[in-house]
Amino acid sequence: MSQPTERFSHAVEYARAAHHGQVRKGTRIPYLSHLLGVASLVMEYGGSEDQAIAGLLHDLLEDCGEAHEPVIRERFGEAVAAIVRDCTDGSAESKGAATTPDAKRRDWQHRKETYLQHLAEEPEASLLVGACDKLHNARAIVADLENPAIGVGVFERFTAGRTGTLWYYARIAEVLQQRNNPVARAFAGVVARMEALANAD
């Protein structure tokens, strides 16, 4: 892409304000770090400014609520809003409806199966952003697995635990490979490392 414009700066500020106070699971790392990381990967893999902005905003509906969708559309355009919607497997409101551990696991399984089906068919513009999101997340999991102070305990942060998390990332890797996505090779390597570390014991 060409050099980012003021739109990108506005998106950074919007994401910072919307996710203020949120941190990465099991850490004290500001959630903004993930959003900046995804946008950076989108740019590295040749995405457009719309895609990079969507990378910054991709978790807004899921973590902050559906009310952000019309704002995204108004401020950043229909293309960005469509990518953000494609990258969303459940809104903050819908996810909050599951209150017990069993209900949360059932909800997680349903959302992920539906998202995987969507991933296999969604537009290339959205697929790149989604792939960069998953690559950044997978790298974070591997880093924690490699940390002796955390190790396989990292999976306790996730609703589906070790088995479900490994299943999900393996399926994503299959879809990205099938679609010849530019992120597929790097993602497959990270997932292979994740599986090796997770099953080392």
Mean per-residue pLDDT, 27-51? 97
What pLDDT score does 94 carry?
A: 58
Residue % of the chain over a pLDDT of 90: 83
Residue 197 pLDDT more than 70? Answer: yes
Query: Does 75 or 201 have the greater pLDDT score?
Result: 75
Kindly indicate the confidence band of residue 168, based on its pLDDT and cuts at 50, 70 and 90: very high
Per-residue pLDDT, averaged over 151-173, amounts to: 95
What amino acid occupies position 90?
G
Domains of the chain: 6-198 (1.10.3210.10)
pLDDT value for 68? 96
